[in-house]
Amino acid sequence: MEVTEASLLLRRRLCDPSYIHSIFKSSPDGNYSKLKFIISNSINEACNNSVLLLGPRGNGKSAVLELVLADLKVEHPGIISVVKLNGLLHGDNNNGLKEIARQLCLEFDLPFSKMASSDENSELLIDILRECGLAHKTVIFTLEEFDLFTQGKQRVLYSLLDALQFLTSQAVVIGLSCRLDADQLLEKRVRSRFSHRKLLFITPLKDDMQRLLEHLLLLPKETNLSSIYVVEFNSRLYKILDSKEFKYHLKKVIDIDNNISNLVMFLYRAVCSMDLKSGFLSLENFKKAISYFHPYPKQESLRNSSILEFYILVCMNRLDAKEQISFNFNSIMNEYKAIMDAYKTSDNYTRNVCLRAFEHLLERGLIMLTDNNVRCQSIEFRPVKSLISPQELHQALKAYNPCPVLLLKSFNNECFK
Amino acid sequence: MSVSDSEFPLKEFDASDHNLQKASLQKPELQETRPKKTKRKIDMSSKNPLVDGDSEELTDQHYEKLRLCAFNETWSKIEITIKDVLEKINISLFEDVMKWISESFKEIRSCRGEFVRELMLSYPIVTDMICKQIPTALILTKNMEFVDDLSTFQELSAHLKLNGCHVASLSSIDFTTKKGVGGCLRSLLRQLLVASSDAADIFVLASWYSEQHNCNKPIVIVIDDTEQCSGPILAEFIAMLSEWIIKIPILLVFGVATSLTSLRKLLPSDALQYLQSCQFTSESPQARMNSIIEAVLVKPSSEFIVSHKVAVFLRNYFLRHDGTITSFIQALKVACSKHFYTEPLSFLCCDLVDEDYEVLLAKKVESLPRKLLDYAFCLPSCEGKMNNGTFKDLVQGIFELKKTRRYWSMVLMCLLEVAKLNKLQLLDIFCEAANPTSFKLQSSSHLQAPTAISNTIHDMKIHGFGKNGFINRIINKTRDLQVVQLSRILKTWEGYTKEICEIQDKLKDLQTLLNATDNDTRLKQQLSNVHRSTSRFSSFSGKDMMGVNEKVALLMEGMVRDYMKPIECIPFHEIICFSLVDMLQEALIGDPRKTIQTDLLHSHTYIQCCCCKDKNTLLPSMHDTSIVFTLAQEHGDLVNLHDWYESYKSIILSSRTKARRKFNKSPASKKGKVSSALSDSSNLNEATIQARFCKAVTELQISGIIRMPSKRRPDYVQRITFGL
Amino acid sequence: MIREEEGTPRRMTRSNLCEPKTPIQATSIKKTSSQFDQTNALPVSSVCMTLDDLHASLPGRRMQVEEILNLLGPLDSPMLPLFLYGGTSTGKTRTIVQIFHHLNRPFVYVSCLSCQTPKILFESVLDQLASHKRNSGNGYSSFKQCDRSSDFLELLRDAVFSWRQKSSNVCGVRKEGNGKMIYLIVDNLEVIRHWGKNSELLSLLFKIHDITRIMDLGLIYISCNAGPEIYYSSASSTEPVPIFFPDYTEEELHQILLRNHENPKLYNSFLKLVLKPFFRVTRRVDELSLAFKPLFQKYCEPLTDLSVIPDVSLTRELYQRLRPHIAFSLDEIFMVTTRFSADATETSEKTIVRKRNARKLVCEELDFHMSISAKYLLVSAFLASRNPATLDASMFDTKGDIGKQKRKRKNSETTMQKENTKAHEMLMKGPGSFSLERLLAIFQCITSVSDICVDEDNEEVVGDDNEVGLMSDVLLQLSTLCDANFITKGGSCPLESTRYRSSIDEDMISKVARTINFPLSKYLYRG
């Protein structure tokens, strides 16, 4: 019973970014405290402000932001109101302004009219901001996918920042983006109104990782779980975490991709495969979790292709080796026929079948057509190129267990002679 | 004088004149003789009103009316027969398709039965691939031309509707990349749903189909021109349908004009594998054509027939130009109307088939005015035979005509029976059978002593009634027929040749003989089965089989010789037989690219102005475009704009004799820009000339005769015309 | 049984000629209608299958099934989004659906294949959440009009919430253990990639979990042939957990194909024969099963009773009979049955024979009607797009030009290299395009040359047919050819001449040329 509860707890943690990143609260020079400082001093000094949170995906920009906001709401009750925008949804002008107006109306329970034009909306925005300035209320705009706001004429950003420019209110604009050059995308008039304060979210360091693991996996003392179980669980976990083997696996995971979300996925898999009878995480769980990583997707789908498809790949490879600049299905077909005539074999199929195999390869994304079909002519004339290197192909051929000798031969005598 | 009469000469005139021009375009030496006959006829018909004054007006109008309604009557009859024939051809195909539909729908329902609970739910029903296939009927209309099949597919969908399917007929217009899949879904829904909703998605269709009154019928989608659909969209559509096939049992009917490979080229393999396809073939156009000819031209019931030349023309028009039944029927209609229009006596031929025909005809002929009677007796077919005959003769002649016609078609039907066995086209046989010259030769050759035949052989070759003539082929064919076929054929012949008793008798004893031989051959075969010496017996039986076949062949030859008299050898045949091939050709094959050019060269024949009578010199009074075009003839395929312009100007100004200094301008300046230089002494200045020149050249360009200057040669236009 | 199947429709057709009566007796209407009005909130599967049934129904997928079960976790456990991917017909959708049958939990399924616009996708999801059935009553309109993605997320949040209310209300009625977790399955994601302008839709779908923090909405994405790396650009901060479905191995295929056959022994012996050769060509279940269906019928033909247990000798004998068919259907991707079984077999035999000597060009007549001038036009179009325009003069020099051509051949043979490159270019650029004028010129040359032979072959019927020259109304024929896809037409301004290109393949054109006995090879320039 409590085992399922424990696993539920762990799952819930792993699925909840704000919990994951709450670990970075404590560190004094972390982004958390920086951001909090920025916002709170703009609240205290009653000045407008704007900041960019930049960093690769899954490093907890939005999570940290939420934590900060939550805490600030607790500290200054009633004077903070948040407007959340997402570039994906509210990227274009009137859409964004409308959304701002809607949320503001919701906040200060004013009547909101869908029909309002974008000018009216920006009017409303300015008015509200002014009011807030007088009433010493803070409005915080969070723009997720900040880079998407910079597409088009950037009217949302402009009207927002412009309002902040001359109004003596206390509003904060926080942009989140996974593009590190997000501020370079801004127009001049917008950039001039933007304070270039940036917080960079980099992937955590080694020891952070260690702390993060414990933070995520250790069962808390103060729950309705029986303390014996908790202690047992944690001690076993400590053993695993300290074990050499686990470190090795962890290193592999991090080598594949060292951002947090990848780690979380790894842990999630481990937790999911936790055996509910024993009720303890074991090293096997982690091993299994790592076994699910497919670092070489090409190889995977290459391994899945049939012999005929291999023949076609080999033919393309030969054509490549002959320094033919570009080739299409017809030339591949000639090559194929050449092989078939050279060595008598059972794998001599008609054009239709080969074309089907060719289409399969296209679907798998092992080869691609290099033109955008301008002359709208049939597929066999369109130039095509192979997306797998000879080495990959060679490995795949060797791995393919009933691989016909002829295939390897016709492959080798082109490449390695 | 009446409008109609005044119309005759003029129309006839420029029609024939046109043929002259055409001839000069194509093969002059062949054409020379043609227009004579028409000319003569024209004089005749145009002479009549001049002879007797406007007292005739009334009667003329009266006969106009008679001919008109005769035409309407005849043509409506023909139309109906054609329609019936085509329906008869199609119905079997339709029933096959319907049968197939109900069977495959039954299969789908059996699948539905298992998943009846899931049917309403959103997620796909887990089945194996076989159940995901869409039953698809590929109807091969064996004709690249698409026109005939449109009607076929409309009738098909009507037929299916009648048999209780939901039918939606899409076409290539719905499968364009612009509209995408949404487009075809929308039109699909618009046809199926009574209350059409704005949303066009498959879910609407599903929920519509799941309603009580819909869910026990199959949905059939008929796409009549599959080749023209855009492949990707069609593939996407198919993929979508295959996901829903169990929830929405949709069956596809594809019309494939050319061949299956075209479909294979159109669709990618994974789309193809969703089609559980089953092919039907509709009748080939030749077969349709044969049955139409048989019903319309061969059957004695028809009252309007065409001469040999017209038949040949129609045949070539069908085989060479466009193999569409539609255009053939149109040609027939044109011929018919022309016939009744030009032939004063043509109204006599209507209702030739009624039994109390004699009385009617007698009445009609009695009431004929003298003028028409004379006209009848100096028809080319009975010139010299009988002059200033009486009503009786005319009536008699027409009876004669009718009789021969009947015999002729009778023999032709007999021939046809055999021809069906070795796949000869009725059209060819018809053409040959209607050929008067060959008939004359042949009959003569039979009368002559065998020595004399040799010299006729050669002309027979020319006229195609020789060893390799179709009729001969058929006769030879009869020589090696099986017993069974032979007896069947004899039966059918008996059916045809009721009214000629001697043939009947011959057939009778032939059949008895045949039965006898048949019996003892059978007996012999039994013997041969008993002891294994088949060869001797078979050869023996074969020998006296030969005897029977020989007799039949002889009989047929006899029939052909005695009874198959082409209509054109009979006096008064003009009354029911249409022979003005030129008029028909004129009406059917308008040859746009050539006619444009010729007409530009001979513009004065149309603009019959007094100012430019002189044909072979260019006059400024002529139309600019024709001047420019005629000038362009002197150049090669590249025309230097400047020279062209100069020569044009010189012609325009040639009326004014005073010499004028030429401005050598760059062709760039001809682009409508008014040049400052004015030609002093004339009212038309440089600008006007240039403007006119530009206009003319542009017209030439629009009519596709020249192409504008290219980048490489900015000062040359390209002549892109052929056929002159 | 088959006879009766034939019997009924014939009766039906005859009856239908007189009055429009639907052929099929309305047997299952009641079932469907009862189906129709029970609008249970969401698909909760009727058949509850045990774990063993699950594994039995999904051969070769044990590993994936177990993993997915783990990841979904016990009842009401939150989860990261899942991402199922793998080759075509590797049982992704089937697996997930079966698993939900087994778990017996509510889910919403939407396949991008049947939604061609985001609007349709959104609305179908919302409809299912609100258990809204379209019918003629509501004019087949959806539950909510939802066009913009921002609206969608709002509505989604509300819908999930209200659904939870409803489910908790009717919880007593519903079977225990559906839980308050609801799953959203998005199938055929790869289709969206090609929608082009809707690329943000993809990232929206991936970010649903991030933006709307609905803890108890489980997201499951299914993508065919496109792994997570393809979607990386539009991935969200919490990447979905990838689960890979590899293609089936030969043994697995054997198991799968063997399922639900009466007389598995017989089918087993059959599979032993056919699977290996076909496996070399394709590994996709759907294609294999399609190919095997007719083959198995062939295989069974000699057998009288299908319940026979084949011994070795019988199998060998059957194999002897089957072998040509195997060879035939290995080379066929598009099976077309003819209506009547008799001539169907006949044709198949013929095609087999044809395949036997397939190496040398099979000659067979054109099986559809074309007018002669259309044929000539087609041939000239083919020549125009195969021959380089520069050689036209030498090719169609109306008096015998074969000598010239020969010489040209020779000195092109001397320079092997050039020839190769030229051939390669020919291969690459496919049929060349040509202007209307060039087409007409070639057409005229051809017809003028071959008028003689035309007259010869139908002289005996037509004394003088030259009055109907072929040259007239060519443009009509051209449009017809364009409609029949033999000639593709490049759009251009109507005044300047448009470019054409012949898309007909070699053997077809050779057939056509044969019907008008036109010496094609003489005029065709081989690079």
Does B171 reside within a domain? yes
Amino acid at A297: P
Same domain for B617 and B559, yes or no, is: no
Dihedral (Cα; C157, C159, C161, C167), 10-degree rounding? -150
Residues of C in contact with A344 (CB under 8 A): none
Distances (CA, A) of A340 to A310, A343, A413, C177, C322: 14, 6, 15, 61, 25
Give the mean model confidence (pLDDT) for residues B91-111: 89
Domain boundaries A299-415, CATH class:
mainly alpha
Q: How far apart are CA C231 and CA B613, in angstroms?
A: 80
Name the percent of chain B lying above pLDDT 70.
Answer: 73
Residues of A in contact with B268 (CB under 8 A): 359, 379
Residues of A in contact with B270 (CB under 8 A): 359, 363
Do the Cβ atoms of C211 and A88 come within 8 Å? yes
What kind of fold does domain A14-200 have according to CATH?
Rossmann fold (3.40.50)
* pLDDT score recorded for residue C468: 42
Q: Where do the domains of chain A lie? A: 14-200, 205-290, 299-415
**Would the pLDDT of A185 be above 70?**
yes
Residues of B in contact with C10 (CB under 8 A): 99
In this complex, the residue of C336, C372, C473 whose CB is nearest that of residue B279 is C336
Domain boundaries C32-245, CATH class:
alpha beta
Please provide the size of chain C in residues: 527
Q: Which one, of A293, A232, A226, lies nearest residue A263 by Cα?
A: A293
Kindly report the nearest CA distance between residue A117 and chain B, in angstroms: 27
Give the mean model confidence (pLDDT) for residues A257-270: 86
Residues of A in contact with C334 (CB under 8 A): 352
Q: Which one, of B145, B197, B191, lies nearest residue B170 by Cα?
A: B191
Q: What is the ipTM of this complex?
A: 0.86
Give the mean model confidence (pLDDT) for residues C301-326: 83
Do the Cβ atoms of A365 and C488 come within 8 Å? no
* pLDDT score recorded for residue C503: 83
The residue to which tokens 């092109």 are assigned: C412
Same domain for B279 and B296, yes or no, is: no
Q: How far apart are CA C331 and CA A252, in angstroms?
A: 46
Same domain for B383 and B457, yes or no, is: yes
Radius of gyration of chain A (CA): 29
Q: Are B460 and B438 in contact (CB under 8 A)?
A: yes
* A109/B254: higher pLDDT: B254
Model confidence at B2, pLDDT cuts 50, 70, 90, reads: very low
The last residue of a domain, from among B264, B283, B302: B283
Which of C157, C282, C290 to mutate to probe the A interface, most A CBs <10 Å?
A: C282
Same domain for B543 and B676, yes or no, is: no
Same domain for B617 and B512, yes or no, is: no
Do the Cβ atoms of B261 and C505 come within 8 Å? yes
Kindly report the nearest CA distance between residue A44 and chain C, in angstroms: 30
Same domain for B118 and B102, yes or no, is: yes
The answer to whether C490 faces chain A, any CB pair under 8 Å, is: yes
Q: How far apart are CA C229 and CA C238, in angstroms?
A: 14
Give the mean model confidence (pLDDT) for residues A151-167: 81
The last residue of a domain, from among B234, B257, B283: B283
Q: Give ∠ CA B5-B9-B11 in degrees, rounded to 5.
A: 105
Do the Cβ atoms of A355 and B270 come within 8 Å? no
* A188/B38: higher pLDDT: A188
A 10 A CB-CB count for B442 gives 23
Do the Cβ atoms of B269 and A355 come within 8 Å? yes
B500-537, pLDDT tens digit by residue? 777 778 778 777 877 777 676 666 666 655 554 444 44
- Return the residue of A nearest to B264 by Cα: A352
Q: What is the DSSP letter of B621?
A: T
SS3 A344: coil
Q: How far apart are CA C167 and CA C151, in angstroms?
A: 24
* pLDDT score recorded for residue B683: 62
Q: How far apart are CA B160 and CA B152, in angstroms?
A: 12
DSSP secondary structure string for all residues of A62-125: HHHHHHHHHHHHHHSTTSEEEEEEEHHHH-SHHHHHHHHHHHHHHHTT----TT--HHHHHHHH
For residue C44, give both structure tokens. 């909760």
Do the Cβ atoms of B99 and C136 come within 8 Å? no
Which of C331, C369, C466, C515 to mutate to probe the B interface, most B CBs <10 Å?
A: C369
Residues of C in contact with A262 (CB under 8 A): 239
Three-state SS for C16-59 is HHHCCCCCCCCCCHHHHHHHHHCCCCCCCCCCCCCHHHHHHHCC
* pLDDT score recorded for residue C143: 83
Which of A4, A21, A306, A349 to mutate to probe the C interface, most C CBs <10 Å?
A: A306
Give the mean model confidence (pLDDT) for residues B206-228: 86
Do the Cβ atoms of C430 and A330 come within 8 Å? yes
* pLDDT score recorded for residue C185: 93
Ramachandran region of residue B694, left (φ > 0), alpha (ψ -120 to 50) or beta? Answer: alpha
The last residue of a domain, from among B283, B300, B324: B283
Does B396 reside within a domain? yes
Kindly report the nearest CA distance between residue C72 and chain A, in angstroms: 8
Give the mean model confidence (pLDDT) for residues B151-163: 91
In this complex, the residue of A59, A95, A304 whose CB is nearest that of residue C150 is A95
Give the mean model confidence (pLDDT) for residues A233-243: 89
Does B389 reside within a domain? yes
Distances (CA, A) of C67 to B543, B619, C50, C84: 85, 95, 17, 11
Give the mean model confidence (pLDDT) for residues B315-336: 83
Task: Show the DSSP H helices in B564-677 as ranges.
Answer: 581-588, 592-601, 624-632, 641-653
Same domain for B562 and B703, yes or no, is: no
Same domain for B688 and B706, yes or no, is: yes
Model confidence at B663, pLDDT cuts 50, 70, 90, reads: very low
B366-380, pLDDT tens digit by residue? 777 777 777 777 777
Q: Which of B156-165, B635-644, C489-498 has the lowest mean pLDDT?
A: C489-498
In this complex, the residue of B181, B463, B702 whose CB is nearest that of residue C495 is B702
CA atoms within 13 A on the CB side of B348: 31
In this complex, the residue of A352, A359, A379 whose CB is nearest that of residue B264 is A352
Residues of B in contact with A359 (CB under 8 A): 268-270
Which of A349, A355, A381 to mutate to probe the B interface, most B CBs <10 Å?
A: A355
**Would the pLDDT of C356 be above 60?**
no
Name the percent of chain A lying above pLDDT 90.
Answer: 2
Residues of A in contact with C78 (CB under 8 A): 8, 11-12, 15-16
Which of C37, C92, C114 to mutate to probe the B interface, most B CBs <10 Å?
A: C114
**Would the pLDDT of C358 be above 70?**
no
Residues of A in contact with C237 (CB under 8 A): 17, 57-62, 261
**Would the pLDDT of A168 be above 80?**
no
The answer to whether B225 faces chain C, any CB pair under 8 Å, is: yes
Do the Cβ atoms of B98 and C22 come within 8 Å? no
Does B486 reside within a domain? yes
Neighbours of C, requiring at least 3 CB pairs below 8 Å, are A, B
The answer to whether C334 faces chain A, any CB pair under 8 Å, is: yes
Average pLDDT, rounded, for chain C = 74
Q: Which one, of B144, B722, B698, lies nearest residue C435 by Cα?
A: B722
Q: Which residues of B303-341 are buried (b: 16+ CB within 10 A; e: fewer)?
A: bbbbbbbbbbbbbbbbbbbbbbbebbbebbebbbbbbbb
**Would the pLDDT of B267 be above 70?**
yes
Kindly report the nearest CA distance between residue B264 and chain A, in angstroms: 9
Q: Which domain holds residue B618?
A: 592-719
Same domain for B274 and B303, yes or no, is: no
Q: Which of A199-208, B236-245, C4-13 has the lowest mean pLDDT?
A: C4-13
Distances (CA, A) of B100 to B105, C43, C336, C395: 8, 35, 14, 52
* pLDDT score recorded for residue B386: 59
How many cross-chain Cβ pairs, A to C, lie less than 8 Å apart? 167
Q: Which one, of C483, C241, C451, lies nearest residue C378 by Cα?
A: C483
* pLDDT score recorded for residue B137: 92
